[in-house]
Structure 1
C-alpha cells in the first residue's frame, strides 16, 4: 500500500469512519461522486465514475455533441490524501475526500476542473514560481421558498424581523444570525477550512467570508467545501444560503474576489516588488495580462446568464478592466500593503463560479502577461464606473470570445475549451426558451 493510501486508511480507522463521501468537483463546482461504506473503500484503488459527468450542464443535461467517448466509459477517481476531512453534519462518523480524475492509462482527465488548475500551476512551477491566492466570498441568506416564480426575500433573524435597508459592516446585523455563524465556524474548523474574517456586505442579509491566503489548489478545495458547509448549516436553520451572482432585484450582486501574488520559490520573495520596495516589472506585466485576456476568459468568471446581471455600473460591480491603487471601483484593485504583501485583486468573478476554473483563468491571464511582457495602462485614481464598459454583456458573447482566444486555448487545451464552451452554449439555449414574467407583463397585451 502506498504512503498516501496508508495515511488515509489510518485516519479512517482512528476516526472510526463508517462511510466515505468520494467527491469530485464538476464543471459547475458541485460535488459529484459516490458514498461508499468504509469497509468497501480501498484508497489504493480508488473508484470509478462515468467520464461524461464532466460534461454535464448546470441543469444536469449534456451538450448536443459528445465530448467524451460515445461508449460512455469510466474514469478512475484517486483520492488526494491532503483533502481528507470529516463531514461535521453527518449523523454517523463520515469522511469526505476529494478525488482526482484520471484515465486508466494514468493520464489526467483534461476535463476535470481540478486538473485544469493543476495544469496552470505547473506553468508557474516550470518558471521557478509559486502563485498565492486569497478568495473572498459573498453570499446571501434568504427565506426558504420552494416556488421558483416567487422572488427571494431576506430571512427572519433572532429578533423575529427581517433586515431593514442595507447594513454594510454592521455587527448587530451579523449577530442576527449568530446561530448559523457559530455552527458554521465550528464546522469549518473541524474541516480545516481557514476562515479569516466575517463581515456584513452591502445587500440585505448579504455576508462576506474571507479565506487566508495560500496555495491556489488548496484554496479552491476550501471554497468548494465551504459552499457545501454554508448551504447545509443554513438549511438546518430554516433558510437558504445562495451563491447566485445576482439573486435579488434591487440588491447588489455577490462576488468572489481573488487576491493574487507570485513568489520566487528559491528566495521566497514576492516578485511583484523590487528590492527597494517599488512595484516590479512582473507586477505590471501581470496586470497587463489580466487586462489583455480577462474579457476572453469571462465565461470562467461569469459562467451563467444570471452572472451578467451583477456586472453593472449601478450595482457596485466592475464593468471594465481599469486598475488602481486601493480603488474598489476598478475591476483590478491593488490593496494598500507593504512590499512583501503586494498583490492584485481580481474583482470580476461572481461567487457563482467554479473556484478551480476561476482561479486557474485569473492566474493564466497573469501568466500570459508576464510571459509576453504586456504593459497595463495607467492606474486610475477616479471612478471606473464612469469609464466605458469593456466586458462581454451576455454569456453567448463571452463564449464567442473564449473560443476565439488562441493563447487561452493553448493553456487550457482545445478539448477543454470546446467542451466548456459547448456546455455554456447549451445552458444559454435552455435559458433562452424560458419566457420571463417581465415579458408577459409588458409585452402580452402592449405590442
Structure 2
C-alpha cells in the first residue's frame, strides 16, 4: 500500500515504471463530479507534468450547458482562458479495466499566474480543510455511499427497473441486509472488489440496502480530500463494472418512484493535530462542548447548504416522510430518523453523521459544505437544539423542498460564502440556476395525465 500523502513526482515515475504504464488519464472533477480531462501518452505526461483546459470546463452543469450571462462571467471570463492543471502524485491509480497499462491521476486547477482556481471542487474542499488546520484541528470523515443496480434502458421515458440476477429473476421486494440478495450479483461484486484492490481504494463493507437492487459501500475513515478522491474513483469504477455485466449503476438520489432514495451519509469527527485526541470527547469520555457546537453549526447552516448536499431537481424527491431520508435537522443519539445522528461509539471514536447528503452530490463539494457548517458552529459557538429522542418524522419539515428554494437560501447565507469562497458560490449557483431553468422547460407525464383534460 502506497503512503500517498507524501508521494513525490520521482516516486510517481517509479510507480508508473513498475506497472509499465503507457497512457495516463489526466482527470479533473467538475461541479457535478464528472471526470473531465485528457488522455496522454506516458512520455507526454512525464515531459509536461500537466496540461491545459478552458477554465469553464470545471464549471459545467449536468446538461453540459453554461449560463448565458450574469455574475458567472464576473468570475469566469468570456474569453475562454486556459487553466493550468498540475497532477497530484498522491492520487495516481491504475485503470484496472483498460486494455493497455493505463493510470489515472487527478489534477488541481491553477490560472496562468499560479493562483488556485477557487471554484474547482477540489480547491474548495482544500480551502475548508486549511481553515481547520489553521486552528490546529484535523477533520476525519467516513462516507457511506448508496447506489442502485438498474436494468439497462436506453429510453429515458420508461421507468427504471432492478436488473436480473443469477437466479434469472429481478428483485420484486425489499431485501434490506440480505446476504442472498447481494449474492445474486456475485460476479459483479467480485470484479468491483478486485478493481478496488488494484486501485488501492479503502472500501470497507458491502450491504444490500432497503430498495430493490439498492446497495451500499462503506469507506474507512480518513482525511477529507483523500476520501473525496476515493469516492470520485469509486463512482467511476462502479459504473464501468456494471456496464461490463450488462447493467447500469446509478447514484441518482431517487431513481425509482416506489423505492427509497440513495444517500451519502458522512461520518465526521475532529482530532487535535498536536495530540491526535478526538475533540468531540472530554477526558472523562463525555461529549465535549466542541461536539455540541459542531452539531449546532450543522443545524444552523444545513438548510442553506442543501443546494450543495442535494444538487438536482431529483434530489428533493428523496427527502420525504417514510422514505428512510431525513426531513429536518433534528439531532439524536443512535436515531436514524434525524438528519444529524450521533452513533453509539467509544469516546475516542465519537463522531457525527450527516444523513441529509444525497448520493448524487459531488463528494468534494458535499464534504466541503458539511465541514463548513461544523466549522462555523465551532467558530460561532452555536448551541444545538435539545436532542430528539423520538421519531423525527413526526416533526415539521425544516429543509427546502425544491432546488429553487435551496438556491435562494444558499445565495443569502453570507457565512457560507465566506468559508467556501464567494467565487465558488457565484459559479455554482449560476450553473444550478441554468439547470433548473432547463428542467422547467420539460413537461412531465404527470402533467399530461392529470391536467390535459381536467383543468
Does TM, normalized by the shorter one, top 0.5? yes
**Does residue 383 in structure 1 map to residue 391 in structure 2?**
yes
Alpha carbons 2:49, 2:87 under 8 Å: kept: no
Q: Which runs of 5+ in 1 are unaligned?
A: none
Q: Which runs of 5+ in 2 are unaligned?
A: 1-5
RMSD (Å), alpha carbons: 1.1
Alpha carbons 1:9, 1:43 under 8 Å: kept: no
Runs of 4+ in 1 over 3 A off after TM superposition: none
Alpha carbons 1:133, 1:260 under 8 Å: kept: yes
Deviation at 1:164, TM superposition (A): 2.6
Alpha carbons 1:5, 1:43 under 8 Å: kept: no
Question: SS in structure 1 opposite 2:8?
Answer: helix
Deviation at 1:401, TM superposition (A): 0.5
Deviation at 1:43, TM superposition (A): 6.4
Match of 2:3 in 1: none
Alpha carbons 1:8, 1:84 under 8 Å: kept: yes
Q: TM-score, normalised by structure 2?
A: 0.97
Match of 1:27 in 2: 31
Alpha carbons 1:49, 1:75 under 8 Å: kept: yes
Deviation at 1:3, TM superposition (A): 8.2
**Does residue 410 in structure 1 map to residue 414 in structure 2?**
no
Match of 1:48 in 2: 52
Deviation at 1:42, TM superposition (A): 2.7
Q: TM-score, normalised by structure 1?
A: 0.98
Match of 1:173 in 2: 181
Distance 1:280 1:395 in 2: 35
Offset from partner CA, 1:272-315 (integer Å, 9 cap, x none): 00000000000000000000001001011000000000000131
Alpha carbons 1:303, 1:353 under 8 Å: kept: yes
Deviation at 1:7, TM superposition (A): 2.1
Alpha carbons 2:316, 2:402 under 8 Å: kept: yes
Match of 1:293 in 2: 301
Alpha carbons 1:5, 1:44 under 8 Å: kept: no
**Does residue 118 in structure 1 map to residue 126 in structure 2?**
yes
**Does residue 108 in structure 1 map to residue 116 in structure 2?**
yes
Deviation at 1:9, TM superposition (A): 1.9
Question: SS in structure 2 opposite 1:42?
Answer: helix
Please list, as runs of the form range in 1=range in 2, the aligned pairs for 1:345-364 lying within 5 A after superposition.
345-364=353-372
**Does residue 17 in structure 1 map to residue 25 in structure 2?**
no
Q: What is the aligned length?
A: 446
Offset from partner CA, 1:106-137 (integer Å, 9 cap, x none): 11100110010000000010000100000000
Deviates more, 1:191-200 or 1:34-43: 34-43
Distance 1:43 1:392 in 2: 49
